[in-house]
Amino acid sequence: MPRKIVACDSYVFDALVYDRYQSGGEEINERRRKLSIVYEAMKNELTPKEFHALKEYYLNGKKMKDIAQERGVAPSTITRQVRKAREKVMHIAKYY
């Protein structure tokens, strides 16, 4: 899945669930309300490391290798954190 760089912190998850909310006719305000709920759920359900990895990868467009280097961990650790965070966000998004 190609990464989408998003413009603001509150929409970092938009890159993950964007297509789910593209069904025709939905108003932008309703879409933003749903995304806001998912974002709040992310802040509460993801570990700080998962949240940070997800933000850096999707919001800032950094490579996993670069994130790992900054944090002093193996790239596989970041890959795992991003994967787990994505799974959690997608699970949360199913309810909306």
Which residues, 6+ apart, have CB-to-CB distance to 93 below 8 Å?
Answer: 13, 16, 17, 20, 38
Question: Between helices 28-45 and 75-93, what is the axis angle to 10°?
Answer: 130
Q: How far is CA 36 from CA 40, 65, 74, 76, 79, in A?
A: 6, 29, 32, 30, 25
Q: Given a cut of 70, is residue 96 above it in pLDDT?
A: no
Does residue 15 carry a pLDDT above 70?
A: no
Higher pLDDT, residue 9 or 59: 59
pLDDT tens-digit map of 32-72:
777 777 778 778 889 999 999 988 888 788 999 999 999 99
Contacts for 95 with CB less than 8 Å, ≥ 6 apart: none
Phi (first) and psi of residue 94, to 5 degrees: -60, -30
Give the predicted TM-score (pTM) of the model: 0.64
Q: What domains are there in the chain, each with its CATH number?
A: 9-93 (1.10.10)
Instruction: Provide the pLDDT confidence category of residue 4 given band limits of 50, 70 and 90.
Output: very low
- Across the chain, mean pLDDT equals 76
User: Which tops the pLDDT comparison, 91 or 77?
Assistant: 77
